[in-house]
Structure 1
Amino acid sequence: MKKTIIAFIAIGLLAVSCDKKESTDGLHLTGNIKGLKQGKLYIQRYNDTALVAIDSIKIDGNSAFETNIKLESPEMLYLFLDRGVSNSLDNNIMFFAEPGNLNIDANLDNFINGAKITGSKNHELFEEYQKINSRFKDENLSLIEAKFKALKRQDQKAMDSITAKGDSNIKRKYLFATNFAINNKDHEIAPYIALAEIYDINIKFLDTIQKSMTPKVANSLYGKKLTKYVNEIKKEQKK
């Protein structure tokens, strides 16, 4: 069961090859990396537990780029900038791609945080989710710092209080993610959040999200994965 969960955390996907010249449908991706004179961009997706390149774009003098990606269903992709130094995730922009036109504008100095992504409703919802979810992450970091200080001064009462606050923060985070997915059941962001953010929540919540999906979303890449995942858990619990 643990291996099944890990596989779904990664949102493992089969690599799909693309041909810039022949692909006229799917995702039409354009963009501009301000300040980038020379380098290489890679479009990546998860295959099992690792990111794999499905397309590459050479930048030589012109920082604007354009390509076509075969994409039958909305999914999370990554724009990787090869700086020739490291393969750090700091060089990777996550974007929720969907068939149609999508544009990414970024700059060399502030590649991720300065990126502006337009043309995808799912990505718009993903940014909305991330904005609120970051508050839970910030609070968790503050609690970790406070707990470390309490541990250092051996204040058991403070540690117990901080632990309780941490548990409450996690519950609120998971409840928010569940409600966000249900409220956006007509978009593929819903099953994605269930699989990537709250895969280990009580099965009844995952089951509720799965059953709330519209037929279109249920038939999408992540919709099918969520249905399979929920069924696997239920099957495991019956043993």
Structure 2
Amino acid sequence: MNNRLIKLGLTFGMAGLMLASTGCSENQKDNGYHITGNINGVDSGLVKLVSYNEEDRTSTTLDSVTFKNGSFELKGTVKYPEMMTLIFTPGNWATQIFVENGTIAVKADTTGAEHYDYSSYGGEKGANLKKIEVTGSANHDIYNKYENEPEQLKFKDEFAALNKAYEAEKDLKLKEKMRSKFDSVGQLSKAWQIKWINDFITKNPTSVAGAYIFNNHYRFNSSMPLNEMDVILNKFKDEAKQSTYFRLLVSDVAKRKRVLPGEQAPDFTLLKRDSTSFALSSTKGKYVMIDFWASWCKPCREAIPHWKNVYAKYRDKGFEIVSVSNDSRWSDWFKAMDQEQMPWIQLCDEFPIKNMPAKVSTLYQIPSLPGYVLLDKEGKILVHTIEEKDIDQKLAEIFKM
């Protein structure tokens, strides 16, 4: 969808790390990692080595040391190579490095860092370092090579230019037209990326960096066909298959396969506006479309008139719609319902785990909003899609109108 591609463009706009690597002996690897480094621009303070758990979106500080004159040293052991974050305070200067057992040297400079401020959202202020040199991590060498391939850099520059023009444009209609350019550039960059990933993994099936790069690509392309996913995943071997990145990908594939057409739709119970419970299983005997939406989702709101027409056309023939809102604030949900006046079942998703996506949209592996799942009278999945036309076509077949 357009919104996801714009997000992808913003991600591509971030400059890649400028890295190099040297080898280390097997004895050094057995003794764990030894990171030495220097940062220019922060004379003294605290440096932390932070590991991020993508499954529950939590961060763990593996080590932290005070440093003087910009110099620091970190020691420890990792079971498998992992992309981690170095954070220097004061200032929250951050950079990612691929940590693996062995000797790793880091040289960083705060000049030209990209600053951010999330304080208005309850977060922190900080900066992402752009001048960073890492030696001793073979996996980081691979990641750096991928990020700095000429084609990759070309797409980054294109996205940066598009983002700049988009932000500068004041005419809303022209801004909407500009989205098609994001689409076309996004498709080209995605095709180049997956070819690079395929070629690399074919030649380097044991590479943890390869698994990391593929996992990153998938997070922005989570509707990637499952047959393509299986082909790439089956190439990985040994250490790559033991990595957290491979495990995450395999887990996502399994979850997506559980909601493929032909599978029984997972039951769920959510609250309606009046706080009474509603179970999906209570709709058996009807064809049901689950509509995943949110008050803040513009394409979702724009689709509502279409679904009103569809509902009016088929409701007396045994068709029902169950809308599941992704709003975390019920006040926003209430306001949108009052404005849109949707005459079908309205439920609100739950966020039982802090910082994690909504429960039911995750259960149904909805890659973006809006998302639609059509069920038959027995509660089996007929269509799982982000496209209105896919639902329209199937309903026309069912009701032969």
Same fold per superposition (TM over 0.5): yes
Residue type matched to 1:209 in 2? I
User: What stretches of structure 2 of length at least 5 have no aligned partner?
Assistant: 1-28, 114-128, 264-401
Counterpart in the other structure of 2:181 = 165
The alpha-carbon deviation at position 118 of structure 1 amounts to 1.1
Alpha-carbon contact 1:42-1:81 (below 8 Å) kept: yes
Alpha-carbon contact 1:45-1:53 (below 8 Å) kept: yes
The alpha-carbon deviation at position 140 of structure 1 amounts to 2.5
Q: How far apart in 2 are the matches of 1:103 and 1:149?
A: 41
Alpha-carbon contact 1:80-1:92 (below 8 Å) kept: yes
Residue type matched to 2:87 in 1? F
The equivalences for 1:85-124 within 5 A come to: 85=91, 87=92, 91-109=93-111, 112-124=129-141
Structure 1 residues 236 and 149 mapped into 2: Cα distance closer, same or farther (>3 Å)? Answer: same
Q: How far apart in 1 are the matches of 2:225 and 2:109?
A: 41
- In the alignment, is residue 53 of structure 1 matched against residue 72 of structure 2? no
Residue type matched to 2:250 in 1? T
Structure 1 residues 129 and 38 mapped into 2: Cα distance closer, same or farther (>3 Å)? Answer: same
Residue type matched to 2:213 in 1? I
Q: How far apart in 1 are the matches of 2:112 and 2:65?
A: 20
Structure 1 residues 145 and 37 mapped into 2: Cα distance closer, same or farther (>3 Å)? Answer: closer
- In the alignment, is residue 64 of structure 1 matched against residue 80 of structure 2? no
Alpha-carbon contact 2:48-2:61 (below 8 Å) kept: yes
- In the alignment, is residue 34 of structure 1 matched against residue 54 of structure 2? no
Alpha-carbon contact 1:191-1:209 (below 8 Å) kept: no
The equivalences for 1:124-143 within 5 A come to: 124-132=141-149, 133-143=152-162
Q: How much is the aligned-residue C-alpha RMSD, in angstroms?
A: 2.8
The alpha-carbon deviation at position 144 of structure 1 amounts to 4.1
Partner residue of 2:196 out of 180, 196, 212: 180
Partner residue of 2:228 out of 201, 205, 211: 205
Bigger relative contact order, structure 1 or 2, given CA contacts below 8 A and separation 6+? Answer: 1
Q: What are the Cα deviations for residues 38-95 of structure 1, in whole angstroms up to 9, with x where unaligned?
A: 21100011133133311101113x4322221220111110110011x5x4xxx11101
Residue type matched to 2:77 in 1? K
SS at structure 1 position matched to 2:106: strand
Structure 1 residues 222 and 154 mapped into 2: Cα distance closer, same or farther (>3 Å)? Answer: closer
- In the alignment, is residue 43 of structure 1 matched against residue 86 of structure 2? no
Counterpart in the other structure of 2:31 = 25
Counterpart in the other structure of 1:192 = 212
Residue type matched to 1:71 in 2? V
- Pairs aligned (count): 208
Who wins on radius of gyration, i.e. which is larger?
2
Stretch of structure 1 that moved more, 128-137 or 63-72: 128-137
Q: How far apart in 1 are the matches of 2:191 and 2:33?
A: 33
Residue type matched to 2:211 in 1? P
Alpha-carbon contact 1:182-1:190 (below 8 Å) kept: no
Q: How far apart in 2 are the matches of 1:119 and 1:74?
A: 12
Alpha-carbon contact 2:30-2:101 (below 8 Å) kept: no
The alpha-carbon deviation at position 24 of structure 1 amounts to 7.0
Residue type matched to 1:95 in 2? I
Residue type matched to 1:93 in 2? T
Q: Please give the TM-score of this superposition, normalised by the length of structure 1.
A: 0.74
Stretch of structure 1 that moved more, 129-138 or 114-123: 129-138
Residue type matched to 1:32 in 2? N
Alpha-carbon contact 1:103-1:118 (below 8 Å) kept: yes
Partner residue of 2:248 out of 222, 225, 232: 225
Q: What are the Cα deviations for residues 145-165 of structure 1, in whole angstroms up to 9, with x where unaligned?
A: 445677728559xx64x4433
